[in-house]
């Protein structure tokens, strides 16, 4: 298996999007993870979805002009993930989430992107956890079916505050939804003090990786202070015959102190780290 490295376009929010794509190309990445994050990324879904085909073709051309390809399209419908969580108790909210997901699939397909990431849902405290979980399972089954129609792999990111904030819950969710995969970010589990060994069983379900430093108490950390053994992650992914992308995903926001890192430097450090692994005896072949 060949190492495929991507960089998130939302890593550099202070630059214009064209400049971000140019920077990612200059950093010699082959892929770009596109964030469709309402009100907080360069490309807001509400704007891109006015004319999905036109918007996606425009992005595809810009990406291709720089020698890149779209590795993943990541949909988030609001600043807070709960109002439009896929398993929201309000059926009208779920219907809107479904409608935007279908547009995301169309957008990804137009960009010739084979992977879409979403969020797994939330526990709504007014009801038992099992009720929220069951509704997430129902909705995710629908999402997987729609993605298959577009020949797109669909993965969810198990994250802090979600319906699956711990590895064993994320595994349970995947096992309840045939065809569902994970966009796996160890950092969300590292942040709450879990060791890598607790996360490792999830690698077998991964279709996309988010890579950045983390440690107990910090969702995002520098390369120097990172506690995740990414060499081990790389090796386990290879043993699992992983064929997806490793997306380096530093973000810049006040949330979770994620504005405390030099995103450019940290991205380069992780790029070089994975590049060295790929050129060593542990490389994916």
Backbone angles phi, psi at 42, to 5 degrees: -60, -40
d(CA 200, CA 231): 12
Q: What is the pLDDT of residue 256?
A: 87
Report yes or no: 33 and 41 within 8 Å, Cβ to Cβ. no
E runs forming strands in 136-191: 153-156, 181-184
Query: What does DSSP assign to residue 215?
Result: E
Report yes or no: 195 and 188 within 8 Å, Cβ to Cβ. no
Q: Which residue has the tokens 């994250």?
A: 159
pTM > 0.85: yes or no: yes
d(CA 192, CA 198): 12
Q: What is the pLDDT of residue 285?
A: 34
Q: What is the pLDDT of residue 281?
A: 58
Residues composing the chain: 285
d(CA 253, CA 255): 5
**Ranges of residues in the chain whose predicted pLDDT is under 70:** 1, 281-285
Tell me which residue of 143, 51, 135 sits closest to 99, measured CA to CA.
143
Instruction: Please give the CATH topology (third level) of the domain spanning 5-278.
Output: TIM Barrel (3.20.20)
Query: Would you kindly state where each structural domain of the chain is located, as residue ranges?
Result: 5-278
Sign of the C-alpha dihedral computed for residues 123, 126, 128 and 133 taken in this order:
negative
Strands 5-8 and 69-76: what pairing? unpaired
Q: What is the pLDDT of residue 1?
A: 60
Sign of the C-alpha dihedral computed for residues 268, 273, 223 and 167 taken in this order:
positive
Report yes or no: 77 and 97 within 8 Å, Cβ to Cβ. yes
């Amino acid at each position: 298996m060949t190492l495929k490295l991507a960089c998130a376009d939302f890593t550099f929010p202070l630059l214009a999007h064209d400049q971000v794509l140019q920077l990612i190309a200059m950093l010699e990445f082959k892929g770009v993870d596109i964030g469709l994050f309402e009100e907080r990324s360069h490309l807001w879904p509400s704007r891109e979805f006015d004319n999905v085909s036109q918007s996606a073709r425009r992005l595809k051309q810009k990406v291709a002009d720089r020698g890149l390809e779209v590795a993943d399209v990541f949909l988030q419908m609001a600043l807070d993930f709960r109002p439009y969580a896929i398993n929201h108790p309000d059926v009208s909210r779920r219907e809107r989430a479904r409608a935007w997901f279908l547009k995301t699939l169309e957008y990804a397909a137009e960009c010739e992107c084979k992977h879409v990431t979403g969020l797994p849902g939330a526990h709504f405290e007014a009801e038992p956890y099992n009720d929220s979980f069951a509704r997430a399972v129902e909705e995710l089954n629908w999402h997987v079916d729609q993605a298959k129609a577009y020949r797109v792999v669909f993965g969810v990111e198990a994250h802090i505050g979600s319906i699956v904030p711990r590895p064993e819950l994320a595994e349970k969710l995947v096992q309840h939804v045939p065809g569902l995969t994970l966009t796996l970010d160890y950092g969300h589990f590292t942040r709450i003090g879990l060791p890598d060994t607790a996360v490792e069983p999830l690698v077998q379900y991964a279709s996309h990786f988010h890579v950045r430093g983390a440690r107990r108490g910090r969702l995002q950390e520098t390369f120097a202070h990172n506690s995740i053994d990414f060499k081990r992650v790389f090796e386990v992914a290879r043993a699992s015959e992983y064929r997806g992308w490793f997306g380096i995903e530093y973000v810049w926001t006040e949330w979770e102190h994620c504005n405390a890192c030099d995103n450019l430097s940290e991205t380069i450090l992780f790029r070089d780290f994975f590049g060295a692994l790929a050129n060593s005896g542990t490389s994916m072949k």
